[in-house]
Each structure stands twice: as structure tokens, then as C-alpha cells.
Structure 1
Amino acid sequence: MNKTLTIQQRNDVLRSMVKLIAAEKVEILNANKLDVNNYNGADLAMYDRLKVDDDKIEGMMLSLQQLIADVDPVGKELYHFIHENGLKITNKSAPFGTVLIIYESRPDVTVEATGIAFKSGNKILLKGGKESINSNLKIVELWHKALKKNNISTEWVEYLNYNRTETQAFLENPTQKVDLIVPRGGEKLIAFVKQNATCPVIVSGRGNNFIYVDTEADLELALKVIINGKTSKISACNAVDKVLINSNLPNNALFIKKLIKKLIEFKVEIFGDAKLSNFDNVSPYKNEDIWNEEFLDYKIVIGSVNSSEEAIAKINKYGGGHSAVIITKNNETANLFMESTDCAAVYQNASTRFTDGGEFGLGGELAISTDKLHHRGPMGLQHLVTNKWFIYGDGQIR
């Protein structure tokens, strides 16, 4: 398992997997139907992520086809130096080794994330949630078929069918070497993994994204971007939870009333700060902790700020480090906001819903990292590698 498979071998497995998903689509949908019927939770976002339909199947196959078309991320020369003593020193990209992906509810992760980790030369350990067990086991069965078809060991993709206690024990004292853990899910899952893991963890999935409406905003554009960010997919980590409106915005009250009306049309529950909770259909919130909260639901908080600097400070204090937007026609104001806001992705006049590996041209994504090490934002194929130094000499000593 230490030897990296050739790019031909890795691509052949991915090609086989595309064909198997197409051939066994009905079986995948049937397995998923069992999971959906068994799910009795009230979590709307969890349910949305759990359900597999024809579109999601197409998305799974497309993500693998894009991976096949992408260049090999392993063995890229990152740096080269010839020492004065003749040593030839090269730094190249290299696989991590074994990547453990812990995730909730999303069977498409079992395809997309596994494909990314596999093409980047890593062995994959999968720990999915109990709510998607039938879907995940069916997809892992297909991965094993794809590997066997190409005379490659099924050990490259392994499913850990553990309960919470067993998972904790594995994280604290792994029964096999694990080089990197990527938790994908809610804050409780991320906190659980970080607390118990004994190897590096890339934090992924927390949103709590902000939109700031500046004094020089195009107000129709602002409405369109806010409504899209909040309502187009509430289960996504790139959805919007908070809106800050500059108190000096011309026609401020009229814009706020229009925004409230639009949000109510989409059945969004609206909370406001001391200034904005005076508007009809806006509820005051109980305490400031709500600014920290990621909703993954039809809820939003709207607040008033007196300047861009105040908006930046609020976002940097409460935001999840994922995505933030400024709505303004003033490019200078936008640049200051974008450079000063501590997020993986910053936008001028566009929806946060684009923070996604596919939308950023990466094909798919393993995760959207809100950490700064070792990568930030959507993690695609080219990011799931570490590096290694190769030094060639002819007897040099120091």
C-alpha cells in the first residue's frame, strides 16, 4: 500500500466507477430510499443532504469524469535548486498516505471525496453517518468492484462501520496509520473529531456567511444576491445567515421593507438587532450568541452598521471564516472589504453560493476548509497532496 498507483491505474478505476454507477443506478436509489424512509429526524438540512435522486447520480458521475480529465496532482515539481556542491534538490507534490473522511448524511461524498482522495494517490478510510448506511455501503461495494476489475487491492477504499464510541476509540488510538482527517458536517462533529484525533485535521463545513450592503449598493442586485444566498439551498455551508446594512444607505427603510417582504415570501424567519427589530415581521433576538450561529434553516439575522469598518469587524468576530460578500458599486470600498475580511472566499456583488469546488473550476471538492493550514477554501484534487524533497548527490558530505 505504500507504493502510489500509476496515473493510468487510478484513472482506470475512476472510469470503471463511472460505468458501475450508471449500471447500478437503480440499486443505489433503492438503498437510498431505505435510508430516507428510516430517517425520522427533524433536521431539514440533514434530510436534504441524505436524499439521492437522478440529478445527484448525474453529479456523482460528472465529478468522476472531471477528475479523470484533470492532471495528476502527484509528482509535480514545486521547487528546484542546485547546491554549490552539486547536490540536485527537488521538491515534489506527494500523497498524504491515508486520509480518513468522517461525514454526515451525504452519500455523494462517498463518490466525490473518495474519487479526489484516490486520484491524489491516497488510501481512503470512510466513516459515514448511520443515517446513510445503506447508501454508503452500496457505493463502497461499487468502489471495491471497480478496484477488483483493475486488479487493485480493495484496501485502497475502506468503510469504517463504527458507532460513536468505536469511532472515538479509533481516533484516539488508530488501529492503522492515519495521516489526515477531514470531518465534513456540523459543528458538533467537527468539535468531536478535533477533540479526539491524534493526527492533523482539516476543518470543513462551517458556514455562518455574511452579506454587507454598502451605501453605494445596487439595491435590486442586493435583494437578488441575498435571497439566492439564503434560500436556494439551505443545507449548504455556503448559504447566507447574516445581513449587515449600512445605516447611511439611501432609502434605507424602503430597502429593508422590500428585503423583509421577499424573505417572508420564502418563509424565512427573520431576527433583527435593536434597530431593525422595530420593523414588522422581524423578531428581536435573545442574545448576541445568535451572530455566531450557523442555521442551515430558513432563518436569517439582519443588523445595522454605521460603516464598512464596523461590518468588517463584526464579520471577523462572528463569521465562520467561510464566505463574505460586499454589495457595492465602489471598487475601492470593495477591495478594502475583501482584503480585510478574514474569510476563505470574499465576493463583490455575487452570491456566496458559488463557494464550491465545481463552481471554482476544481471539478469536485473534498472539503471547504476554513483553516489556513494546509489549504483554505474549496479543496480539490490538486490540494489533497503534501510535498516531499528528493536530493540527488554523488558523495557530498557536510
Structure 2
Amino acid sequence: MELLKTNKKNKVLASFIKILGLNRAQIIAANQLDLAAFDPTDRAMYDRLIVDNDKIDSMVKAVEEVMEKDDPVGQTKSTFKREDGLEIINKTAPFGTIMMIYESRPDVTVEASVLAFKANNRILLKGGKEAIHSNQILIDCWHQALHLNGLDTDWVQLLKMSRTETQAFLKNPDQKIDLIVPRGGERLIAFVKEHATCPVLVSGRGNNFIYVDHIADWDQALKVILNAKTDKISACNALDKILLDRRLPDLKNKLIQLQKALHEFEVELVVDQEVKKILTEEQVIENEKIWFEEFLALKACVALVGDEKEAIQKINKYSGGHSSAIMTTDKVLAQSFMEQVDCGAVYHNASTRFTDGGQMGIGGELAISTDKLHHRGPLGLEQLVTNKYYFFGNGQVRV
């Protein structure tokens, strides 16, 4: 694989930006074909599928941000010079070929590909069939940009395979794949991990929790809960589980207030037996499995816990390891909670919706990793490289 100069990569990205703008109407028209064939009752997935002028503006901005960032390849990580004069330098290097498997969201096609390309990786994109027309025209735009700059189109490829064909490809790919990133629901992730023969970096489920301590600022907690739950239900950083300290003053009225606020946004509630005694008309939790679920819907579980220790235990047992939050005025308690909760992102008095590369100052992201190797959290430019050791000698031999 050719190691491209930074200015060459940026010229391709500049061409891609221009071509996206010139093909705006065609991109939206292609997306309309996908939307027409999709069931809009699946609200979360439908929202992810939509491409309008605002979404194209976001795509262009994502490419611009990546173009302006430093090249992550060839950066020195460490240097060491032995007594015999042998110099050892550790530098960043491309992975090689990354395969991305994802559902819906045509904007992911753009964001993932520009990040992979700037990090000098080839990328194979296996998008969902629900976005086939949208993804195809975006890849066509990519190929025009590559052609204009004298590069092969195999830098960015769209794979069109059935589930059976994808399974066979994962088991026996016709080309070397260095890393696979599945970005979607639990079934997709399990499918990829079962069949892949190369490293898999999991962009895991959300199933995010918030714990409201008994000395939390209630008005602040309510504001944060509503934002985390309702701002974008299709996002992996959306809230699913709400744990309230049963020592909260005036607990009954606070539960009723929470119920009313969530119902105004049409959020369906599922509650534990204790909460059921107060919110009598709500559905009760009947099966432990619901605690493991990522809803991606206007739905939330509400339950009571005795203290932060019980909340931590529950979160570490059931959450997807993505994001969790604590609402409390006790900073020492918050620090302890954040250190003990096993999630990639932990919050004190803030919405989980900030677990996003752009919001975190990282820029665009290929995915949010819930794995611990080689990286946890947003996979931005700096995370799409590996490393290589360079030895500079003058005839040294080991004795």
C-alpha cells in the first residue's frame, strides 16, 4: 500500500468536498429512494437514514475538519539510543485495510472513509441495504475525487453483500484485512465477532445509565435526564436507564414530576416494583433481560437504589460500557462513582449525549469503541494508526 504525502491526501479531500457540493441534489434524490422503501415506524433507524441539506452540510464540515487536522502517520512516539549507538525510534503507521460494517446512517459512509483515508488506510464499507442508494452515490463522489488526483478507487470500496455472503467473506476474505469495526446493534456485533478471522474493534451498544443521588440538584437532574433521553433517541449515547436514590427528599412528588416530564416527550416508562407503587399506571419490569437492552427508542427504565454503591453494581452488571452519569452536589462522591463505574465515558452533572468525537474535541470519529484494546472511546484520526519501530545502526550486532 502506497504511503501518501499529506498534501496529496488533502487534495483528494478538497476534491471530495467540491464534488459533494456539486452532487447535492443527486445525493438527496438517491436518499429519497432509500426512505421510500423504508418503514418510518422504526423511528430511530429512519432518523439515521435521512439525508437532507443540513446533513450534507454536516458531511462537508466533517471532511473539512479532517483535512485541517495534522497527519497522524509518521508521528514519533518515542526515541531510544543504546550505548552501542543503535538508535530506535517508534513512529505511528497505518493499519492497512479497515473493514467497517454498519447499519443505516449514510453520513457514517463519509465520516469513516475520510478518517481512514487521512490515516492512510484503505477502507471497505459494508453499509446496510436500507441505505444502498445513498451510499452508492457517496462512494461515486469519492471515486471521482480519487480519479481526479490520480489514485485508484480501491482506497474506498463499497461492499454489496447479503448476510450469507458477508459471513463467507469474514471467514475467508479475498484480501488482507487488518481490522474490522462493526458499528450497530448487538446482533450485528455478535455476528461479526463470531465469523471474523482478524481483529475486531467493537463499537458497542449504548444502554447508558444515570444515577441521581439523594443530594442532587433535582431541577438540574431533570434537565439532564430529558436531554440525555430525548435529544436523539437513535444515538448510542442516549440514556436508557434511570436510577434514583430512594433517600431523595419528597421522592413521591419527584417521581411524579419525572413521569410527567418524560411523558410530555412521549417516553414509555418501565419501572421496578417500588416505583410501581407510586406510578401505578406504568408497566412493571418483569424480566431481568430488559436491563441489558439498548432501546434506541422513546423508552426508559426507572428504578430505585439504596446508594451509589448499589447504582455502581447495577451499572457494571448491565450497561454496555459506553456512558454513565451521576447527578450529585457531592464532588468527592462523584469522583468515587466515576472511578468505579466501568464505562468508557463517565459524567458528573452532565448529559451522556456528549460522548461524541466532535463534542469531545477529537473531531470526526469512525465509531465509539467500548473495547479496551487498542483504544476505548471515539476512534478519531489518532486512533486509526498503529505503530512501527525504526532501527538505525552502523553494523551493530547483539552479543
The one-letter code sitting in structure 2 at the alignment partner of 1:356 is D
1:279-318 to 2 correspondence within 5 Å? Answer: 279-280=278-279, 281-318=281-318
- Residues 188-239 of structure 1: CA distance to partner in whole angstroms, max 9, x if unpaired? 1111001000111111141000000011100000000001111111100000
Displacement of 1:112 in angstroms is 0.5
- Residues 299-345 of structure 1: CA distance to partner in whole angstroms, max 9, x if unpaired? 10011110111101100000000000000111000000001000000
The one-letter code sitting in structure 1 at the alignment partner of 2:220 is L
Does the alignment pair 1:121 with 2:134? no
Q: Matched residues in 2 for 1:154 and 1:289: separation?
A: 45
8 Å CA contact 1:90–1:391 kept in 2: the answer is yes
8 Å CA contact 1:94–1:388 kept in 2: the answer is yes
Displacement of 1:253 in angstroms is 1.6
8 Å CA contact 2:204–2:320 kept in 1: the answer is no
Does the alignment pair 1:187 with 2:186? yes
1:43-62 to 2 correspondence within 5 Å? Answer: 43-62=42-61
For the residue of structure 2 that corresponds to 1:46, the secondary structure is helix
Q: How many residues align?
A: 397
Q: Matched residues in 2 for 1:103 and 1:173: separation?
A: 20
Q: Matched residues in 2 for 1:393 and 1:372: separation?
A: 35
For the residue of structure 1 that corresponds to 2:154, the secondary structure is helix
Q: Who is 2:249 aligned against?
A: 250
Q: Who is 1:102 aligned against?
A: 101
The one-letter code sitting in structure 2 at the alignment partner of 1:108 is D
Q: Who is 1:328 aligned against?
A: 328
Give the TM-score taking structure 2 as reference length.
0.98
The one-letter code sitting in structure 1 at the alignment partner of 2:237 is N
8 Å CA contact 1:67–1:115 kept in 2: the answer is yes
Does the alignment pair 1:270 with 2:269? yes
Q: Who is 1:140 aligned against?
A: 139
The one-letter code sitting in structure 1 at the alignment partner of 2:329 is K
8 Å CA contact 2:65–2:363 kept in 1: the answer is yes
Deviates more, 1:277-286 or 1:25-34: 277-286
Displacement of 1:54 in angstroms is 1.4
Identity among equivalent positions (%) equals: 56
- Residues 248-269 of structure 1: CA distance to partner in whole angstroms, max 9, x if unpaired? 1122222111101101111111
The one-letter code sitting in structure 1 at the alignment partner of 2:75 is K
* CA RMSD between the two structures: 0.9
Q: Who is 1:203 aligned against?
A: 202
The one-letter code sitting in structure 1 at the alignment partner of 2:350 is A
Q: Who is 1:38 aligned against?
A: 37
8 Å CA contact 1:366–1:380 kept in 2: the answer is yes
The one-letter code sitting in structure 2 at the alignment partner of 1:279 is I
Structure 2: where are the runs of 5+ without partners? none
- Residues 65-101 of structure 1: CA distance to partner in whole angstroms, max 9, x if unpaired? 0001111100111111001211100111110000001
Q: Matched residues in 2 for 1:23 and 1:334: separation?
A: 50
1:158-197 to 2 correspondence within 5 Å? Answer: 158-197=157-196
Q: Who is 2:366 aligned against?
A: 366
8 Å CA contact 1:272–1:303 kept in 2: the answer is yes
Q: Matched residues in 2 for 1:166 and 1:146: separation?
A: 29
For the residue of structure 1 that corresponds to 2:273, the secondary structure is coil
The one-letter code sitting in structure 2 at the alignment partner of 1:36 is L
Q: Who is 2:391 aligned against?
A: 391
8 Å CA contact 2:370–2:376 kept in 1: the answer is yes
8 Å CA contact 1:325–1:352 kept in 2: the answer is yes
8 Å CA contact 1:205–1:367 kept in 2: the answer is no
Q: Who is 1:23 aligned against?
A: 22
Displacement of 1:41 in angstroms is 6.5
Q: Who is 2:10 aligned against?
A: 11
Displacement of 1:282 in angstroms is 2.2
8 Å CA contact 2:39–2:46 kept in 1: the answer is no
Deviates more, 1:34-43 or 1:362-371: 34-43
8 Å CA contact 1:72–1:119 kept in 2: the answer is yes
Displacement of 1:43 in angstroms is 2.2
Displacement of 1:40 in angstroms is 2.8
Q: Who is 2:217 aligned against?
A: 218
Q: Who is 2:340 aligned against?
A: 340
Q: Who is 1:70 aligned against?
A: 69
Q: Matched residues in 1 for 2:140 and 2:204: separation?
A: 26
